[in-house]
Amino acid sequence: MATIRIGSIAPDFTQSSTEGDISFHQWIGSSWAVLFSHPKDFTPVCTTELGTVAKLKPEFEKRNVKVIAVSVDDVDSHKRWTGDIEETQKTKLNYPILGDSDRKVATLYDMIHPEANDTLTVRSVFIIDPNKKVRATITYPASTGRHFDEVLRVIDSLQLTDSHSVATPANWTQGNDVVILPSIQDPDVIKQKFPKGHTVLKPYLRITPQPNK
């Protein structure tokens, strides 16, 4: 079983879901995607997470991101669980949950960590770009619910840094200052790329306003 690394192609698969059979790469199409796993159906933390993502779906769509969940139980179980999610989280489940009772997806994406539990998936997040490359992974223990605003923040950073010669500093959020890549040294290029100007704190640490704001 290969370890999923940043920059590697996300493994493709075909699997049943609450919205019918899904061929993963085909389903992603020209969008970004977030695949996130759940240890088990009818569990408290997962119920809150699935509801949170349903409420945030418009934010993901704004960024051209599709969301899809996976849990090791089967689709019938997911459909029964959906009623609880919608009732307790006061929202409509508006994206697919993959069935994975055969552990196919969990195994492909190395979501089962035997040292933690040899049957349940950890809370993994995979951010995948339109070229089907894994761009970021975040893994939490089963006991800790995810912070999906952070997932959106990472997507914002990836999409910004793909289109401009910048990196995002600690705690960056949309609209904050960014740093110029150290590889850009030519003053004329800097002036052209960053017309709003920049501040030199150190030769390798140059701060500039977010270019696309």
Indicate yes or no: pTM above 0.75. yes
Residue positions annotated with a catalytic role: 46
Structure-block tokens of residue 125: 């997040």
Question: pLDDT for 48-99, tens place per residue?
Answer: 999 999 999 999 999 999 999 999 899 999 999 999 999 999 999 999 999 9
- Does position 113 have pLDDT exceeding 60, yes or no? no
Percent over 70 (pLDDT), the chain: 94
- Does position 116 have pLDDT exceeding 70, yes or no? no
Question: pLDDT for 190-203, tens place per residue?
Answer: 999 999 999 999 99
What is residue 75's three-state secondary structure? helix
Average pLDDT over residues 182-193: 94
- What is the structure's pLDDT at 119? 52
Mean of the per-residue pLDDT values of the chain: 93
List Cβ neighbours of 53 (8 Å cut-off, separation of 6 or more): 36, 60, 67, 69, 95, 148
**Domain ranges (residues) in the chain:** 14-146, 164-208
Domain 14-146 belongs in CATH node 3.90.1150.10: no
- Does position 2 have pLDDT exceeding 70, yes or no? no
Widest Cα–Cα separation across the chain: 61
Nearest alpha carbon to residue 18 among 80, 89, 102: 80
Backbone angles phi, psi at 183, to 5 degrees: -70, -15
SS3 content of the chain, % helix, strand, coil (to 5): 30, 25, 45
* Integer angstrom CA distances of residue 143 from 43, 70, 148: 10, 17, 16
